[in-house]
Amino acid sequence: MAKNCCDIRLLLIVAAAAFIFIQVWLFATQSEYADRLAAAVESENQCTSQMRLLIDQISIQQGKLVSLEEEKRRKDEECAQLKAIVRELERKGLQKLIKNEEVPVAAVVVMACNRRDYLERTINSILKYHSLVASKFPLFISQDGTNQDVKDKALSYSQITYMQHLDFEPVHPERPGEIIAYYKIARHYKWALDELFTKHNFSRVIILEDDMEIAPDFFDYFEATASILDKDKTIMAVSSWNDNGQVQFVHDSETLYRSDFFPGLGWMLTKSTWDELSPKWPKAYPFPFYWEVHGDRQFIRPEICRTYNFGEHGSSMGQFFKQYLESIKLNDAHVDWKSLDLSYLTEDKFLKHFAKLVSDAKPVHGPDFVLKASNINRDIRIRYSDQRDFEMIARQFGIFEEWKDGIPRTAYKGVVVFRHQSPNRIFLVGPDSLRQLRIEDS
């Protein structure tokens, strides 16, 4: 019995020990779970806090988006209002033109940007001779940008239709160091010519810049050459400019030439030509583009300029101004263009006409060409072998040395013609010019 009691006590002690162990183990496990639960709760609180912060940031961004959308809506409304104003101004200007049934010879557009004083000088020069031909040559000012002084000045002329080119797209030059202004100029020209040819449906447009004065017979000159431009598809444009038009190199106000070099600076083109050029108009440098695309076509230019460029300051930074432009002669002689027969300017006739002038000129050789030219009282011709040789001879006389796309300025079939302080012509004749002119080399 005593042994059984001892066994029972032993079992009770073991059971108690097991119970205590289990209790301790349970307590330890509960503590571990409690710690994990506390950590999980803390992590959940952190996630909740971060989520609230993210929600706050999203709310702020949504607020900014709403503000931007509101700002865009306001800008769109302002833009629509500006377009409506421009359309109304164009409508009023064109209504004045419609009242007169005479079909215009050409629209005249002055390309402007931010030079109010230059624009005023240009417009004053145009208006001096415009009143008698107003119905033939409707006037436009096309402003690139938002310069308020220029806009106010342009709108002050009741006889001129104002157009405004608003382009806020950023410019990305294709090559380092390129001048951004030339990209903007190219965009402006394309927009303005599209407006005049496509929207207003003019058959011809004369382009002037806001730093030009015109000659008294400027409008008569373009009216006289308009029909030739229409009929002769080998003529790409008519220009009022001669790069070698300095006073010492010109003599005859009635003389016109064909040229393989695009002169620019006051030029007229047709709608059919613009329809060809507009789709491939370049992003920048539009005038070198003209030299590249004219192919076998040529340009008409006068011996004595019908425009004078006074733009010493501008996008070209006065390039050539002192050396070449300042001394350009602006025609001041009366020319009865209606009485002149200009059919000699058509392709076949001009080739024969010009070839005879060159053929009749006396060949001159030797180093001192200026002295020899001054001692010979007749037209002379001087051969040059290449561009370097041409530049050396041109430098002696003081004419433009520059070439573009393999063509000397003003050249026709490689021949550059000018006077030199007398009525006599000097022909600088290229290595292949006589063959192109069908002249036997004597």
What is the chain's pLDDT, residue by residue, as a tens digit (442 residues)? 555 666 777 777 877 777 787 877 777 777 777 777 777 777 777 877 787 887 878 878 877 777 787 778 877 877 777 776 766 666 555 555 545 557 899 999 999 999 999 999 999 999 999 999 999 999 999 999 999 999 999 999 999 999 999 988 887 887 777 788 888 999 999 999 999 999 999 999 999 999 999 999 999 999 999 999 999 999 999 999 999 999 999 999 999 999 999 998 999 999 999 999 999 888 887 765 555 566 789 999 999 999 999 987 654 545 567 777 889 999 999 999 999 999 999 999 999 999 999 999 999 998 899 999 999 999 999 999 999 999 999 999 999 999 988 899 999 999 999 999 899 999 999 999 999 999 987 6
Q: How many CB atoms lie within 10 A of CB 113?
A: 21
Give the rounded distance of the alpha carbon of 276 from its chain centre.
17
Tokens matching residue 329: 């002669």
Given this model, what pLDDT does residue 305 score? 98
CB-based burial label for 282 (10 Å; 0-12, 13-18, 19+): middle
CA dihedral 51, 56, 57, 62 (to 10 degrees): 120
Six-digit token string for 120: 């005023």
Contacts (Cβ under 8 Å, ≥6 apart) of 92: none
Instruction: Provide the pLDDT for residue 93.
Output: 59
> d(Cα 297, Cα 259) in Å, to the nearest integer?
9
CB contact set of 221 (below 8 Å; sequence gap of 6+): 215, 240, 302, 306, 335, 337
- Please report the pLDDT score of residue 254 as a whole number: 98
Residue keyed to tokens 């702020």: 60
157's tokens = 């002329």
Alpha-carbon gap, residue 217 to 337, rounded angstroms: 9
Any idea which residue has 């080998």 for tokens?
A: 234
pLDDT of residue 4: 63
420 in Cβ contact with 397 (< 8 Å): yes
Determine the pLDDT at residue 317: 42
